[in-house]
Structure 1
Amino acid sequence: MNKPIKILLADDSPTMLKMFSGLLAPASDIRIAGTAQDGAEALTLARSLKPDLITLDVRMPRMDGIEASQRIMTEVPSRILVISGAVDAEMSFRALQAGALEVMPKPTPLNGGISSFGTQLISTIRSMAGVPLTPRRPIIAPPGPPPVLRGGRVNGFGLVAATGGPPALAMLLSLLPPTLPYPVFIAQHVSVGFTSGLRQWLSAASPLPIEVARTGMRPQAGYVYLPPDGHQMQVLMSGEMLVEPISPLHGTLGDALLHSLARAYGNRAGGAVLTGMGSDGATGLLAIRRAGGLAFAQSPDSCVVPGMPEAALRNGAAESSLAVDGMASALRALSGPLPTVPLHRS
């Protein structure tokens, strides 16, 4: 029998701690090793308990969740799940940059309430427990010769990411010029309520304007587009964007985006699959490559979780495997103004 997943809960609200404990009680494979009411106490208990996973709020006295994430990952590395309100979304993404793996929202009537939250919490803990606990990998490559890349022109470029994606996206976008001659589309797996915080956080890192897509909007060169909360985004052959709710049965927002780019732009489509669990983006990236477009994957050794890039590499979808700085170099080298009518190769 496998050992139970040992977790440490940290929140400055005793009510929240009691609720978390009650919601996790039915899960026989999860054991609560301890609770903390601030980041400093969480750090102390992490040293002694060596939990498999730690949940952290971001706003706590003495030491907030951002500093606690930094200190824990430096002194006693553990898988960290940030549980916060949507109002603290920007702080939550800073915690991801500091070393946390995932972020999920506290329960509200708008996101399904306590029962739905409990189911999601148990599922997320089980998924995160399977992530290898290794030192945080650098998302840029060590000095060396630049990769030899096939040049080309793109009319739109799609980025797909999940676990570990926000810091990688922030780094990548920070390295792109404000005069980028094509639009960038992002499919980042993120909890409902956190898109606005992700947009703010990426805007602080990037010289490019970040917009939330709407159905009927025409993408503009030099802009970055995110789908609204709970939605996926596609580009139609007419050149307009289509925004639809994500199917609860499929969670393949990355594949939906990349397949649409392959159809709309043909051999002037571009795409990349970044860090994350699962395989989202692999079939969409393959469609771009088969259309003659440019297809990259983040190098697995630079990923927080390499599952998604490895899936893209296994099925032959990616022509190059690059760390984030190498990918930024490739995107800077691409050129080609957005045409009035998107190119399509049948």
Structure 2
Amino acid sequence: MVVDDSAYNRRTLTELLEQIPGVVVAGKATDGDEALRMVQEVQPDLVTLDLEMPRMDGFTFLRLLMARRPTPVIVVSGYSNKENVFRALELGALDFVAKPTRTVTTDLHVIKEELAEKVAMVRQLTPSLGARRRVLTPVPPRALSALRPEPRTTTDRPRHVVVVGASTGGPTALVRLFRNIPQDIDATFLVAQHMPPRFTRTFAERLHRLGGVQVQEATGSHPLKRGEAWICPGGKCLEVGLDLQVVVKDTEPDDRYVPSVDRLFETAAKKLGEQCIGVVLTGMGDDGADGVLHIARRGGRVLAESPESAVIYGMPGAAERTGVVTAMLPLETLAERLVMWLR
């Protein structure tokens, strides 16, 4: 089902979706109020949702939908509304794609590919997933400057470095993970989340406002310091380089995913050995499976999210099949175990 107040967007999204084999758009709604009524009638397997609509906006629709009939929702948003995307994810949306534009036809091909990936993702969901989707308490709108800790010295090197990989469902999972990380933890966190380039900075700022460790989008190179977290920018890769620096790198031909979880895990394992802890969260595909082997071979430990909480079990499942995962745990228990290891 397509929910959008723009006739152009409704028509374009319907055409793109119906080019995907096996997809039929069962209904189109112009606002959240009409969409709620239509959901009960057509009972869609997937809803694409605009957030800014008259009468009832997308946020209100999400709250009511998740309370009445939890359904996978893909947010369709412009680049200018990145903060709204992450708010919607916290309210229960599954993922997001860029909004179609009237001027750039090449964008439509990209959006069609992204929609096809999201449809394939929804087809992998277990039937009970909708009933157990969790809505988070929204991140409070506190000023970034009020949350930044005092500057740290260059000798403040961490005892552990935690490398985290995630894809579909990852933004919400990372919010839940970072909410459990205390500010005084003796570790640095490096995150490779599959996400478009223009969204990662906003996502890093949102994680930072949780008030635990200091979270930023990585640029250039930075020394590893405890109590800090670096998010790999979209379209790039993150590595641990010489002198224990976290370094942003361009993609390479053999990178199957961007950002590459495998590349982050492998370089961290080589430089850090048993100081490295790998965490594999929800996501499609098998990114990170090779990386956890490198971590284990060099004495590090690996945690992976179990099917009980993972939106998509692809990445954690691939990690589990390597046989080197120390523990498979639901997300809340995983966060508790991680903090215990870092104490």
- TM-score using structure 2 length: 0.84
Distance 1:53 1:298 in 2: 24
Structure 1 position 265 matched with structure 2 position 272:
yes
1:322 to 321, 325, 329: 329
Alignment length (residue pairs) = 317
CA contact (8 A) 2:92 2:134 kept: no
How big is the shift at 1:114? 2.3
Structure 1 position 234 matched with structure 2 position 239:
yes
Query: Residues 165, 27 of structure 1: CA spacing in aligned structure 2 closer, same or farther, 3 A cutoff?
Result: closer
Structure 1 position 102 matched with structure 2 position 95:
yes
Matches within 5 A, 1:272-287: 272-287=279-294
How big is the shift at 1:137? 5.2
Structure 1 position 188 matched with structure 2 position 193:
yes
How big is the shift at 1:255? 1.2
Matches within 5 A, 1:29-108: 29-107=22-100
Distance 1:82 1:247 in 2: 30
Structure 1 position 307 matched with structure 2 position 301:
no
Post-superposition CA distance 1:43-83 (Å, at most 9, x none): 11111101111100122222222222232232223221111
CA contact (8 A) 1:154 1:269 kept: no
Distance 2:312 2:18 in 1: 28
Q: Which amino acid aligns with 2:328?
A: S
Post-superposition CA distance 1:168-224 (Å, at most 9, x none): 211111111111212101111123321122112212224221111123322221111
Query: SS in structure 1 opposite 2:5?
Result: coil
Q: Which amino acid aligns with 2:222?
A: M
Structure 1 gaps of 5+ residues are 1-7, 141-152, 337-346
Matches within 5 A, 1:238-257: 238-246=243-251, 250-251=256-257, 253-257=260-264
CA contact (8 A) 1:99 1:136 kept: no
Structure 1 position 162 matched with structure 2 position 156:
no
How big is the shift at 1:238? 2.8
Distance 1:221 1:113 in 2: 40
Matches within 5 A, 1:113-132: 113-132=107-126
Distance 1:311 1:119 in 2: 23
Query: SS in structure 1 opposite 2:132?
Result: coil
CA contact (8 A) 1:79 1:133 kept: no
Query: Residues 111, 271 of structure 1: CA spacing in aligned structure 2 closer, same or farther, 3 A cutoff?
Result: farther
Q: Could you tell me which residue of structure 1 aligns to residue 155 of structure 2?
A: none
Distance 2:159 2:132 in 1: 33
**Percentage of pairs with the same residue:** 32
Q: Which amino acid aligns with 1:14?
A: A
Q: Which amino acid aligns with 2:268?
A: L
Query: Residues 211, 272 of structure 1: CA spacing in aligned structure 2 closer, same or farther, 3 A cutoff?
Result: same
Q: Could you tell me which residue of structure 2 aligns to residue 212 of structure 1?
A: 217
Distance 1:19 1:90 in 2: 24
Distance 2:135 2:180 in 1: 13
Q: Which amino acid aligns with 1:187?
A: A
CA contact (8 A) 2:12 2:100 kept: no
Q: Could you tell me which residue of structure 1 aligns to residue 141 of structure 2?
A: none
Q: Which amino acid aligns with 1:133?
A: P
How big is the shift at 1:20? 1.4
Q: Which amino acid aligns with 2:56?
A: M
Query: Residues 197, 19 of structure 1: CA spacing in aligned structure 2 closer, same or farther, 3 A cutoff?
Result: same
Query: Residues 130, 323 of structure 1: CA spacing in aligned structure 2 closer, same or farther, 3 A cutoff?
Result: closer
Structure 2 gaps of 5+ residues are 137-157
